[in-house]
Amino acid sequence: MIEKNKEQRTKNKVKSKLTSFLTTNYQLLTTSSGFTLIELLIVMAVLGVLASVVIVQIGPASQQRARDTIRRNDIKQYQTALEIYANKSDGDYPAVGAMPCTDLGLSGSLCKEDPQGGSYPYFSDGSVYVIGATLEYRPGGTQMYFVACSNGLSDDSTAAATDTTCPL
């Protein structure tokens, strides 16, 4: 009988521990520890407002700089085309007031215009040239221009291309 009581107590202890273990694990599994739908919606709304503020602040300036990059690339391509033309024409450049796309062998989409319309100013007397573009982005409010000259220089300038004198 003592052994039977001992055995019964051992079974009860095991049963009690097993019940306690299962109850604890069941509570852990059924307890929700995630975010509620309302919390997620509030976070998404706050992130949306922050994103729209950032886009509004950087939008115009980044678009201006992107168009200025296009202008710089166009002018550099024209500079290369003009040098190729001069190499084929005994050092002479086309002497006209507008960009001479046909003389340079450029047609259709190769004859680039300013991203906001109009052609790039081109000045040449046949022996030298200056080509430029007005840049939109104005650091510190100063109007800037991108200028390329027949002497091989090309860079930003505060002076526009107005004649065959290179402002660089």
Whole-number pLDDT of residue 48? 93
Which one-letter amino acid corresponds to residue 89? S
Q: What is the mean pLDDT of the chain?
A: 85
Please check whether residue 75 is in contact with residue 115, taking contact to mean a CB–CB distance below 8 angstroms.
no
Residue-range domain boundaries for the chain: 1-30, 60-157
pLDDT confidence bin for 95, thresholds 50/70/90: confident
- Per-residue model confidence as pLDDT tens digits over 97-135: 667 787 888 888 888 888 888 888 999 999 999 999 999
Rounded to 5 degrees, φ, ψ at 26 are -65, -40
Pick the residue with more confidence: 53 or 152? 152
Give dist(CA 168, CA 120) in Å, integer: 17
Global pTM value = 0.66
Structural tokens at position 83: 């040098």
**Would strands 145-149 and 129-134 be described as parallel, antiparallel, or unpaired?**
antiparallel
Structural tokens at position 128: 């030298």
Please check whether residue 138 is in contact with residue 144, taking contact to mean a CB–CB distance below 8 angstroms.
yes
Give dist(CA 37, CA 167) in Å, integer: 63
- Per-residue model confidence as pLDDT tens digits over 60-90: 788 889 999 999 999 999 999 999 999 999 9
* Residue 82, helix vs strand vs coil: helix
